[in-house]
């Protein structure tokens, strides 16, 4: 790990040296428009948008006719979320008859976006479709000798690892209604949908719909202006192979805090009560009905304007009608997202790549008498993958994902490996 950190540290040192040199040139001659513009670009690349605004403002003080600079300042205020300040700069830019048609169209798009963002009703979301290939689509165990009723048994031919293709669709819509209060209260509702269909293993075809809704607000807008919480309720319905698998009711609490311009965290607690239906093909699924508690912590840190590190920690606890379904799960995921210059210009100048690794440990509370009455199941799993995203048009992108799973268990029935390759198309709105 230490060897991997050296290039990043050296890169940050080079960025800081460039910023120091740019500041020195501006300090020596504050009226030098070229020095200010170069310094502003360096600050933007480093994610220092507020300082970049100050550098560009010095250009306007020297030459107020620089309308293109006024547009740049408006765009920076937009990125900072200061929409009224951005609107002021954009409107002044539109009033200049010398503004080029290209910049005028860009400013009008910004103003339309600001009007939409400041509306009481806001809709955001995505929709996508894709295809997946897996070399072990049925999670068939690696071992050829398994456990059954406490005895060693030969692995059935139908349980051996088998490959398959599947096709899926997913969508998410979030509606936010601004209550226009001093504590920035919004009613935030999210609808999530997912469905997949396998070519061979149709018993794994799944359809899911989930709705959450609650009040997001700042509990202490004066003292903790960067803290938001959202108590909410949860409801979902899941269909497996055309039959009801389970439905859930529950509630949750999100707490989001922005520590700095580059660091933010979100803590979530959820309580869910899944009610399982009866499905003879899956065994005694109705005995999985019970309580589920989840605690999640996500922390994102922006190393630079093009690099972000995300750490996800999760703890899940289930309590069911049978001890062999009860478990506690500890999970951690580390993701590194890099935005880089596109080698082929399609729609946007940048593409992104996000390698990730996930580990979880899941000890079960009791032995399953149908598998091994003498041992409690204990699973460990590691997922290693990478997602590559290519923008192909405005709000449209395609992504490619490769993932490998190592699933290990003290009971051979649950030890397996699987490699998946995914290609998808996404539209954001």
81-118 burial by CB neighbour count: b if 16+ within 10 A, else e?
Answer: ebbebbbebbebbbeeeebeeebbebbeebbeebeeee
pLDDT digit string (tens) for 301-349?
999 989 999 999 999 999 999 999 999 999 999 999 999 999 987 878 8
Question: Which tokens belong to 245?
Answer: 């698998």
Report the C-alpha gap between 73 and 77 in whole angstroms.
6
Of how many residues is the chain composed?
429
For 72, list phi and psi in degrees, rounded to 5: -60, -40
If one counts every other C-beta atom within 10 angstroms of the C-beta of residue 207, the result is 17
Instruction: Tell me whether strands 328-341 and 350-367 are parallel, antiparallel or unpaired.
Output: antiparallel
- What pLDDT is recorded for position 2? 43
| DSSP secondary structure code for residue 217 in this structure | B
- What pLDDT is recorded for position 28? 61
- What pLDDT is recorded for position 117? 78
Q: Tell which residue, 225, 221, 194, has the closest CA to residue 207.
A: 194
Question: Which tokens belong to 117?
Answer: 């963002």
Which residues have a Cβ under 8 Å from the Cβ of 376 and sit 6 or more positions away?
Answer: 324, 363, 364, 365, 366, 367
Question: Which tokens belong to 425?
Answer: 């198309």
- What pLDDT is recorded for position 68? 86
- What pLDDT is recorded for position 180? 87
- Mark out the alpha helices in 215-344 (DSSP H runs): none
Q: How far is CA 82 from CA 41, 49, 60, 79, in A?
A: 20, 12, 19, 8
Show the domains of the chain with their CATH numbers.
17-117 (1.25.40.10), 121-428 (2.40.160.40)
- What pLDDT is recorded for position 33? 66
Report the C-alpha gap between 401 and 222 in whole angstroms.
44
Which residue is listed with tokens 């954001």? 428
Q: Tell which residue, 247, 290, 296, 246, has the closest CA to residue 270.
A: 296
- Cβ(327)–Cβ(363) under 8 Å? yes
- What pLDDT is recorded for position 10? 46
**Model's pTM, two decimal places?**
0.77
pLDDT in tens, the chain (429 residues): 344 444 444 445 555 666 656 556 655 656 666 666 777 777 777 777 887 888 788 778 878 888 888 888 998 899 888 888 999 999 988 988 888 889 899 999 999 888 877 788 888 999 999 999 999 999 999 999 999 988 999 999 989 999 999 999 999 999 999 998 989 999 999 999 999 999 999 999 999 999 999 999 999 998 899 999 999 999 999 999 999 999 999 999 999 999 998 999 999 999 999 999 887 777 788 999 999 999 999 999 999 989 999 999 999 999 999 999 999 999 999 999 999 999 987 878 899 999 999 999 999 999 999 999 999 999 999 999 999 999 999 899 999 999 999 999 999 999 999 999 999 999 999
48-74 burial by CB neighbour count: b if 16+ within 10 A, else e?
Answer: bbebbbebbebbbeeeeebbebbbbbb
218: left (phi over 0), alpha (psi -120 to 50) or beta: beta
Report the C-alpha gap between 188 and 174 in whole angstroms.
7
- What pLDDT is recorded for position 9? 46
Which residue is listed with tokens 């910023």? 19
């Amino acid at each position: 790990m230490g060897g991997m950190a050296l290039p990043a540290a050296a890169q940050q040192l080079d960025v800081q040296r460039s910023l120091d040199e740019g500041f020195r040139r501006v300090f020596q001659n504050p009226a030098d428009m070229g020095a200010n513009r170069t310094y502003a670009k360096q600050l933007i690349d480093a994610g220092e948008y507020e300082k970049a605004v100050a550098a560009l403002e010095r250009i306007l003080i020297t030459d107020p006719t620089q309308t293109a600079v006024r547009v740049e300042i408006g765009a920076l205020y937009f990125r900072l979320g200061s929409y009224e300040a951005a609107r002021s700069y954009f409107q002044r830019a539109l009033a200049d008859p010398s503004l080029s048609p290209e910049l005028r169209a860009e400013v009008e798009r910004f103003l339309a976006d600001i009007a939409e963002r400041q509306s009481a009703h806001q809709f955001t979301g995505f929709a996508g479709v894709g295809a997946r290939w897996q070399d072990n689509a049925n999670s068939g165990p690696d071992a050829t000798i398994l456990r059954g009723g406490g005895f060693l048994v030969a692995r059935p031919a139908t349980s051996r690892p088998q490959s398959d293709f599947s096709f899926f669709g997913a969508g998410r819509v979030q509606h936010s209604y601004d209550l226009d209060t001093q504590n920035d209260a919004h009613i935030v509702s999210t609808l999530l949908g997912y469905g997949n269909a396998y070519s061979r293993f149709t018993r794994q075809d799944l359809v899911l719909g989930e709705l959450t809704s609650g009040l997001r607000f700042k509990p202490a807008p004066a003292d903790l202006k960067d803290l938001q919480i959202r108590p909410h309720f949860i409801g979902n319905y899941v269909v497996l192979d055309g039959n009801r698998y389970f439905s859930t009711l529950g509630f949750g609490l999100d707490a989001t805090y922005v520590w700095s311009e580059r660091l933010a965290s979100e803590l979530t607690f959820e309580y869910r009560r899944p009610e399982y239906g009866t499905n003879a093909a899956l065994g005694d699924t109705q005995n999985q009905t019970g309580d589920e508690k989840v605690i999640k912590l996500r922390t994102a840190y922006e190393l630079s304007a093009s690099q972000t590190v995300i750490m996800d920690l999760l703890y899940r606890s289930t309590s069911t009608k049978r001890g062999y379904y009860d478990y506690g799960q500890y999970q951690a995921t580390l993701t590194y997202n890099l935005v880089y210059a596109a080698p082929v210009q399609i729609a946007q100048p940048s593409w992104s790549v996000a390698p990730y690794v996930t580990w979880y440990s899941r000890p079960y509370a009791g032995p399953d008498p149908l598998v091994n009455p003498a041992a409690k199941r204990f699973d460990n799993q590691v997922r290693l993958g990478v997602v590559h995203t290519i923008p192909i048009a405005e709000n449209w992108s395609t992504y490619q994902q490769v993932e490998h799973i190592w699933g290990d268990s003290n009971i051979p029935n649950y030890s397996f490996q699987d490699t998946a390759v995914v290609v998808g198309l996404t539209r954001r709105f």
